[in-house]
Amino acid sequence: MFKKIFIHGLTAGVLAAVAGIIYNRIYFFATAVDYSKVLNTVSIIGLSVAACIAACFIFYALTSWLKTKGEVIFNFIFSMGSFACVAIPISISLPLDVQFPELFPGLAVPMIFFPVIAWMTIRPLFKYEFDYRPGQKPAGV
Protein backbone atom coordinates (compact mmCIF):
# COMPACT_ATOMS: atom_id res chain seq x y z
CA MET A 1 0.00 0.00 0.00
CA PHE A 2 2.88 2.40 0.67
CA LYS A 3 3.99 2.18 -2.96
CA LYS A 4 0.57 3.39 -4.13
CA ILE A 5 0.56 6.20 -1.55
CA PHE A 6 4.08 7.22 -2.60
CA ILE A 7 3.01 7.36 -6.26
CA HIS A 8 -0.01 9.42 -5.16
CA GLY A 9 2.31 11.86 -3.37
CA LEU A 10 4.75 12.06 -6.26
CA THR A 11 1.96 12.64 -8.77
CA ALA A 12 0.40 15.33 -6.59
CA GLY A 13 3.82 16.97 -6.20
CA VAL A 14 4.37 17.08 -9.96
CA LEU A 15 0.85 18.45 -10.51
CA ALA A 16 1.39 21.12 -7.85
CA ALA A 17 4.76 22.02 -9.38
CA VAL A 18 3.26 22.41 -12.85
CA ALA A 19 0.47 24.58 -11.44
CA GLY A 20 3.05 26.65 -9.53
CA ILE A 21 5.21 27.21 -12.61
CA ILE A 22 2.19 28.22 -14.69
CA TYR A 23 0.99 30.59 -11.95
CA ASN A 24 4.49 32.06 -11.64
CA ARG A 25 4.51 32.87 -15.38
CA ILE A 26 1.00 34.33 -15.28
CA TYR A 27 1.91 36.48 -12.26
CA PHE A 28 5.08 37.70 -13.98
CA PHE A 29 3.21 38.74 -17.12
CA ALA A 30 0.42 40.36 -15.09
CA THR A 31 2.68 42.43 -12.83
CA ALA A 32 5.98 42.62 -14.79
CA VAL A 33 7.82 41.99 -11.51
CA ASP A 34 10.50 39.30 -11.45
CA TYR A 35 10.93 37.37 -8.19
CA SER A 36 13.20 34.71 -9.68
CA LYS A 37 15.97 35.59 -7.18
CA VAL A 38 13.66 34.59 -4.36
CA LEU A 39 11.30 32.01 -5.90
CA ASN A 40 12.54 30.35 -9.09
CA THR A 41 11.38 27.32 -11.06
CA VAL A 42 13.70 24.89 -9.26
CA SER A 43 12.51 26.02 -5.84
CA ILE A 44 8.85 25.79 -6.91
CA ILE A 45 9.37 22.22 -8.12
CA GLY A 46 11.41 21.25 -5.06
CA LEU A 47 9.01 22.69 -2.51
CA SER A 48 5.92 21.25 -4.21
CA VAL A 49 7.34 17.75 -4.54
CA ALA A 50 8.86 17.83 -1.03
CA ALA A 51 5.55 18.91 0.52
CA CYS A 52 3.64 16.11 -1.20
CA ILE A 53 6.26 13.46 -0.42
CA ALA A 54 6.21 14.51 3.25
CA ALA A 55 2.42 14.35 3.08
CA CYS A 56 2.52 10.80 1.74
CA PHE A 57 4.54 9.64 4.76
CA ILE A 58 2.11 11.35 7.14
CA PHE A 59 -0.86 9.93 5.21
CA TYR A 60 0.57 6.41 5.39
CA ALA A 61 1.26 6.72 9.12
CA LEU A 62 -2.18 8.08 9.95
CA THR A 63 -4.09 5.61 7.80
CA SER A 64 -2.06 2.70 9.15
CA TRP A 65 -2.54 3.81 12.75
CA LEU A 66 -6.10 5.17 12.71
CA LYS A 67 -7.57 3.11 9.83
CA THR A 68 -11.01 4.64 9.11
CA LYS A 69 -10.47 8.13 10.54
CA GLY A 70 -6.87 8.52 9.37
CA GLU A 71 -7.71 10.14 6.06
CA VAL A 72 -10.05 12.69 7.63
CA ILE A 73 -7.43 13.64 10.21
CA PHE A 74 -4.76 13.82 7.49
CA ASN A 75 -6.89 16.14 5.34
CA PHE A 76 -7.48 18.39 8.34
CA ILE A 77 -3.76 18.47 9.23
CA PHE A 78 -2.67 19.08 5.61
CA SER A 79 -5.21 21.90 5.15
CA MET A 80 -4.47 23.59 8.47
CA GLY A 81 -0.72 23.22 7.89
CA SER A 82 -1.12 25.02 4.57
CA PHE A 83 -3.05 27.83 6.23
CA ALA A 84 -0.36 28.13 8.91
CA CYS A 85 2.35 28.40 6.22
CA VAL A 86 0.72 31.55 4.86
CA ALA A 87 2.65 33.44 7.54
CA ILE A 88 5.96 32.57 5.84
CA PRO A 89 5.68 34.69 2.66
CA ILE A 90 3.93 37.47 4.54
CA SER A 91 6.67 37.79 7.14
CA ILE A 92 9.71 37.13 4.92
CA SER A 93 12.07 40.04 4.33
CA LEU A 94 13.20 40.19 0.73
CA PRO A 95 16.61 41.40 -0.46
CA LEU A 96 16.83 45.17 -0.88
CA ASP A 97 17.38 44.95 -4.63
CA VAL A 98 13.96 43.31 -5.21
CA GLN A 99 11.46 45.75 -6.63
CA PHE A 100 7.91 45.89 -5.28
CA PRO A 101 8.34 43.54 -2.29
CA GLU A 102 4.72 44.19 -1.31
CA LEU A 103 3.59 42.11 -4.31
CA PHE A 104 5.52 38.99 -3.28
CA PRO A 105 2.76 37.56 -1.03
CA GLY A 106 0.42 37.72 -4.02
CA LEU A 107 2.74 35.30 -5.79
CA ALA A 108 3.71 33.01 -2.94
CA VAL A 109 0.53 32.68 -0.86
CA PRO A 110 -1.59 30.93 -3.53
CA MET A 111 1.29 28.55 -4.28
CA ILE A 112 1.19 27.33 -0.68
CA PHE A 113 -2.20 25.75 -1.34
CA PHE A 114 -1.21 24.00 -4.60
CA PRO A 115 0.11 20.79 -2.93
CA VAL A 116 -3.02 20.24 -0.83
CA ILE A 117 -5.28 21.05 -3.78
CA ALA A 118 -3.33 18.67 -6.03
CA TRP A 119 -3.43 15.92 -3.38
CA MET A 120 -7.18 16.15 -2.93
CA THR A 121 -7.83 16.56 -6.66
CA ILE A 122 -6.17 13.31 -7.66
CA ARG A 123 -7.24 11.37 -4.54
CA PRO A 124 -10.21 9.71 -6.32
CA LEU A 125 -7.79 8.14 -8.82
CA PHE A 126 -6.16 6.09 -6.06
CA LYS A 127 -8.06 3.32 -4.30
CA TYR A 128 -6.67 2.05 -1.01
CA GLU A 129 -7.61 -0.98 1.07
CA PHE A 130 -9.50 1.13 3.60
CA ASP A 131 -11.75 2.47 0.81
CA TYR A 132 -13.68 -0.82 0.79
CA ARG A 133 -16.29 -2.05 3.22
CA PRO A 134 -16.08 -5.56 4.66
CA GLY A 135 -17.46 -8.05 2.18
CA GLN A 136 -17.08 -5.64 -0.75
CA LYS A 137 -14.72 -6.66 -3.55
CA PRO A 138 -12.07 -4.09 -4.50
CA ALA A 139 -12.53 -2.61 -7.97
CA GLY A 140 -10.80 -4.59 -10.69
CA VAL A 141 -10.83 -7.90 -8.80
What DSSP character marks residue 95? P
Q: Concatenated DSSP letters for 115-138? A: HHHHHHHHGGG---GGGS-TTPPP
Residue at 112 is within a domain: yes
How does residue 94 score in pLDDT terms, banded at 50, 70 and 90?
confident
Please tell me the number of Cα atoms within 13 Å of 12 on its side-chain side: 27
135: exposed, middle or buried (C-beta count within 10 Å: 0-12, 13-18, 19+)? exposed
pTM confidence score: 0.84
CB 101 within 8 A of CB 38: no
Residue at 30 is within a domain: yes
Residue at 130 is within a domain: no
Residue at 128 is within a domain: no
Number of domains in the chain: 1
67-93 pLDDT per residue, tens: 888 889 999 999 999 999 999 988 888
pLDDT recorded at residue 1: 81
31-60 pLDDT per residue, tens: 988 888 888 999 999 999 999 999 999 999
What residues make up the domain containing 101? 2-123
* Selected residue with higher pLDDT from 16 and 97: 16
Residue at 137 is within a domain: no
